Amino acid sequence: MIKRNLLVISILSFVFIININAQETRVKYNFNPDWKFIKANPTNAQVVNYNDASWSTVSAPHTFNDTDTFDDLSIGKHIGEKNQFRGTVWYRKHFKLPKSDAGKKIYIEFESVRQIADVYINGQYLGTNKTGFIPFGYDLSSYLNYGDKENIIAVKVNNDRGEHFRDNFPLVWHHEHWHPNHGGIYRNVFLHVMDPVHITLPLYDNLKTVGTYVHAKNISKKKANVYVTAETVNESKKDRKITFEAKIVDANGKEVSCERKTELLKAGETKTFATKNKVTKPKLWYTRRPYMYKVVTTLKEGDKELDSYTTPLGIRSFYFSKDTGFHNNGEYAKLHGWGQKPTAGWAGLGAAQPDWLKEFTYRLMDEAGGNFIRWGHCAGSPAEIAMGDKYGFVTLMPGVSGESEDEGETWDIRIAAFRDMIVYYRNHPSIFIWEGGNWAETAAHYEEILKIIKTYDPHGKRLMGNRRADVKNDSEAYISIEIGTEGWQREYAHLPLIESEYLRDEGPRRAWDKFTPDDNFWTHPNLSRNVYKIGSEVFAIRQVEDWWEKMGKKSYHSGGANWVFTDGTHGGRNPTEVTRASGEVDAVRLKKEAFHATKAMWRPEAQIHVIGHWNYAEDTQKTMYVVSNCTKVKLYINNKLIGTDEKADNGYLFKFPKVKFEAGEIKVEGYLNDKLLVSQTKKTIGEPVAIKLTPIVGPKGWMADGSDIALVDFEVVDKNGDRYPLGKNTVNFTISGPGIWRGGYNSSKANTTNNQFLDAEAGINRVAIRSMLEAGEVTITAKSEGLQSASVTISSKGVTISNGMSKELPQTYKVDFNSEEPLPIYTPKTEPYNPARVNKSDLFTKFSYTGNGKAALRKNVHWGKKTYTDLEYNYTVIPRYLVGAEYVRMPNSDGKYWARDQLQFIAGADMEIYIGHDDRVPRPAFLLNDYKDTGDDVNLVGVKMSLFKRVAKKGESIIMAGNSDGEVPDDTRMYFVIGKKIKK
C-alpha cells in the first residue's frame, strides 16, 4: 500500500509536462537513445570522420559494468566488490538539428557520468568533469551543423581507480568501498534548445550559470510570500525590451499568482529578474502531504513568448529542535527512513536504471513508512531528488565525499561539486539539510562551505552538518545540526540531532531462521568468516530494536537513516553473500521480513506483521515474533488463541515463546484501546507444482528506447497458486523477440548474474529484460524439473526517435498531491529529554561509538567494576596506576565487528590512553601503529589482556577501529579502554 493515492498511468516526466505549457519556445530533447559504444580506448575517437560502425549500439542510462557486478562473493572486511572492468571507454552520438534551430542556443546536460568524462563536439574539446555524481553541461551552439549535415558528440569515460580507497587521490570517493564502480553515462542526457534570450540553466560547472531561485517567506495557512529570481541572458546582437513573468500554478494546473516586470536587456547582458508573488491560503508541503506547486517563469518581447522555464515549489516552514526533534509547519514529525547509495546497484543492471525503476525503489521506501533519506556519500540523481519532493521525504543532501578530511586537488573538486550541487538542487523543498562532507573539516573548509551556502542558497534556511563532525573541535563553531553515526549518544548537546547510518547488520532474504531448511547460509563454507551470522528473522527483529533504542524512544532525537535500503556490493562484511545484505530489500528489490518490520512500525495506519512463514517441520517449537504499531497483539493457530501480549519490547515487538507448529493457519490481531484494528494470516503452503510469472513494466509501458527495463517475477507455487516459502528450485529461461536478457542473481553464489537460469530464493526471484530500439513482443518461458512451466509475453512500445533525439522524456509515476495520509494511530511513550543522562566525561569528550552494542563512559575504575555493557565480567586485578581512572564500558559482543571509526573521542586534557587487548586476537592496525606494549597484563576472567599505552594532547582526535581486521576466535574478548589525566 502506497501512502498517497498513486495513479499508475502513462505520463511524461514532471518537468516535461510543465514545459509543454510554453509555446515550444524551449525544447528539452531526450538525448538518451542510440549511442555508439566501445569498451576500449582507440586513438582519435573524438574526430568527426572516425569510423564507429563496428561499435555497439546502446542507450543511456548505460554502464559498462552491468555484467561484471553482483557476481563475486564478498571479500568481507568492509571491502567492496573489486573484480570489475576499470579503464577507458568511448561513446559517440550522431545527431542532426533542423535549419530552424540555427541561431538558437543549444546546451547539452549530463546528469552525471562516472567517473571522468572528457566531452567533444564535432572534434572540438569542450571540457572534463570528474565528480561522477553532479550534473554538468556545455554550450554547443557555436560548434554545431544544421540541416542535413551530421553532428558528432564524443565522450571519453574513465572509471579506473587506485587499489586502496585511502590512496585513490584525488577522487577519494570513487571506489567500491563507497560506491560500486559502475562506469559510464549511467544517468540521463538532455539537449536544451532555446532562444538567444533565455533563462539560464542551473549548471554551474563550465557554464557558470545558476538558473532560477525560488523561496517562500512569512509562511502561514493564510498566506505566503514567494520570491522568484531568474538569471536571464541576452545572447542576441541587439537590445531587447523584455517582460519577465512569474506564475505560480497549483497541482491542479490552476494559476494562483502572477507577477510581471519589464526591463531593457542589452545585447550580451546577463540580468537577474526578481518578483514577489503572494499566495493566499497556500497548501503547505508536509511529509504526510507533500503538496507541490510549480513556478513558470516566462520571457516575452511584446506578445511574443521567447522562453519559458519551470521550477518546483513546495511551501513549507520547519525547524529542528535540540530538545523535541523535527517540526514541519509547526507539526511534529519523527523522521525515519534510509541511507541510500546514489548508485543503488541492481543485479544485472548495475547503476544504469531508467527513472521509473529508481522510482520503483522509492515507492517501496514510501510503502515501508519512510519519510527521510540520506544520500551517502554523494548526491542522488535529479529524478530521485524530485521523488523526495513528490513522496514527502526529508532529504539530507551531500555533494561528493569519501570519508576523509581532504586537501589539494581533492578538496578543489569536492568544494566545486558542492557548489554545483547546491545551484542545481536548491529549489527542491524536500532538501532540509546540506551535508558538507562525510568527515569533519578544518575551520577554513567549513568557512568555504558556509560561504557557498550563503551565496547560492541564502534564503533556504537549511541546516548544514558533516557526518563525524565530532572528530574535530573545529566543527562546533560551524555546523548547525549533528549528523550522527549509530545513534547511541549525542556529541553536541546544543544542536539538534539526525542519524545518518544506523544498523549496519546484514541478513540475506533467503535465510529465514535456524528452524527452516537451509538455503546455503548456515552451512555455507564461508559462514565462519561472516561478521553477521543472522537470518531474515533476527535481521527483522534488529530493525525494531535498533530503531527504538537509538532513536525512537528519544524524544529529542529527530530520527534517522537505516543503513541501507537496498542490498549492494559496497563493502559487505559477509563472505557468504555477493552483496552487502544490509537492505530491507535485496538487490532486485524483493522484500525481506525487515521491510515488513519497518512498515509495521512506521506506517501511520494500523499495522501488524508476524515475522517468518508457517511451513515448519511437525515437531518445531519456536518463539514467534510480531511487529505492530498497536498496543495489544493476539496470536491464534487454526483459530485457537495461543497467547496475548500487551507489553511490546522496544516499542513495537511482541513475542510468543514456545509456539508449537501445526499445519494450517497462524493469525495475529492488533488492538488499540481493546478495539481490533488489523489482522494478518499466514498459512501452510503445499508442495510446489508450478511456476508463476508476473511481469512488471513502467507506468507508460515498456518503451523500445534501448534502455528501458521490464521485470519478471518468478515464483514456485502450490496447486492453489500460493508461493511456497521454502522453494529454491532452479528455473531455466528462454527468451524470444526484441529484448536483451539481463537476468538477476542468487545472493549466495558467484557468477549467477546474466545467466538464463536462476534459483528461486524463499520461493521467488526476479529477472530483468532490457528493451531494444525495435518494438515488438518478447516472450519469456520458464521451466524447472518437476514443475509446470509458464510463459509470459511483454510488448515493447515504439518510441519516436528522430535524428538521434526524442521529445518523449523519461517516464515516471503520477501521484495525487491533494491526498493526505493520517497522523500515526499510536506512538509508544517516550521520556522528555534529560541532559543529565548524557554520557559525560572530563577526558573522553565528543565521544561516539558506532558498534552494534552500546558503550558507556564511566569514572573511577577499580577492582569489581564491570568491564563490558553486555557481560557480568568485572575487573579483578589491574595495575595500581590505573585505579581511579576514567574508562569506557564496551560491548563484548562487538569483539568480531570491524569498522574504521568504531570508537572516537577528543581528548579533554593531556592524557594517557590504555587499551587492554585479547592476546588470542590479531592486533589491529591502530593498536600497532599508535600504541606501545607496556609489558603489563590484565587477567580478565581467565583471558590474558595485554596492556598498551599512548599519550594524547588536549584537543587531539582519537579514533579506534574494531577489535581486529582478521579472524578471531568465537569466545574473543573485546578490547577495553582506560584514560588517565596527566598531572602537571
Q: HSE-up of 941 (CA within 13 Å, CB side)?
A: 15
892: three-class secondary structure by DSSP: helix
Angle subtended at Cα 692 by Cα 691 and Cα 696, rounded to the nearest 5 degrees:
140
User: Which residues, listed in sequence order, are joined to residue 355 by a DSSP beta bridge?
Assistant: none
Angle subtended at Cα 594 by Cα 591 and Cα 595, rounded to the nearest 5 degrees:
45
Cα separation, 616 vs 624, whole angstroms = 12
Cell numbers at 401, concatenated: 565525499
Is 589 exposed, middle or buried (CB count within 10 Å of its CB: 0-12, 13-18, 19+)? buried
**What pairing do the DSSP bridges indicate for beta strands 372-375 and 335-340?**
parallel
421: three-class secondary structure by DSSP: helix
User: Catalytic pick from 501, 577, 821, 886?
Assistant: 501
Contact, 771 vs 708, CB < 8 A?
Answer: yes
- Cis peptide bond prior to 564, omega within 30° of 0: yes
Cα separation, 974 vs 924, whole angstroms = 12
Query: What Å distances lie between residue 469 and 1, 178, 871, CA to CA?
Result: 38, 19, 31
Cα separation, 815 vs 7, whole angstroms = 6
Q: Is 9 left (phi over 0), alpha (psi -120 to 50) or beta?
A: beta
Query: What Å distances lie between residue 517 and 447, 506, 520, 725, 726, CA to CA?
Result: 58, 20, 9, 11, 7
The verdict on whether 665 is a catalytic residue reads no
Cell numbers at 870, concatenated: 553486555
The helix (run of H) or strand (run of E) holding residue 103 is none
Cα separation, 743 vs 184, whole angstroms = 20
Cα 130 from chain centre? 21
User: In b/e form, how buried is each residue of 797-815, taking b as 16+ CB within 10 angstroms?
Assistant: bebebeebbbbbbbbbbbb
Is 538 exposed, middle or buried (CB count within 10 Å of its CB: 0-12, 13-18, 19+)? buried
Contact, 736 vs 831, CB < 8 A?
Answer: no
Query: Reading across the β-sheet that carries 105-110, which strands appear in turn?
Result: 26-30, 189-194, 105-110, 136-139
249 Cβ partners below 8 Å, 6+ apart?
Answer: 18, 255, 256, 293, 294, 295, 296
Contact, 853 vs 893, CB < 8 A?
Answer: yes
Nearest to 267 by CA among 304, 303, 242: 242
Contact, 65 vs 159, CB < 8 A?
Answer: yes
As separate numbers, helices (DSSP H) first and strands (DSSP E) second, the chain gives 8, 56
Cα separation, 18 vs 6, whole angstroms = 19
Cell numbers at 61, concatenated: 542510462
Cα separation, 219 vs 285, whole angstroms = 11
Cell numbers at 932, concatenated: 606501545
Residue 569 φ/ψ, nearest 5 degrees: -100, 25
Residue 768: Cβ within 10 Å count: 24
Q: HSE-up of 952 (CA within 13 Å, CB side)?
A: 26
Radius of gyration, alpha carbons of the chain: 29
Cα separation, 561 vs 335, whole angstroms = 8
The helix (run of H) or strand (run of E) holding residue 390 is helix 382-391
Q: What is the DSSP string of 787-805?
A: EEEEEEEEEEEE---BTTB
Catalytic residue list: 501
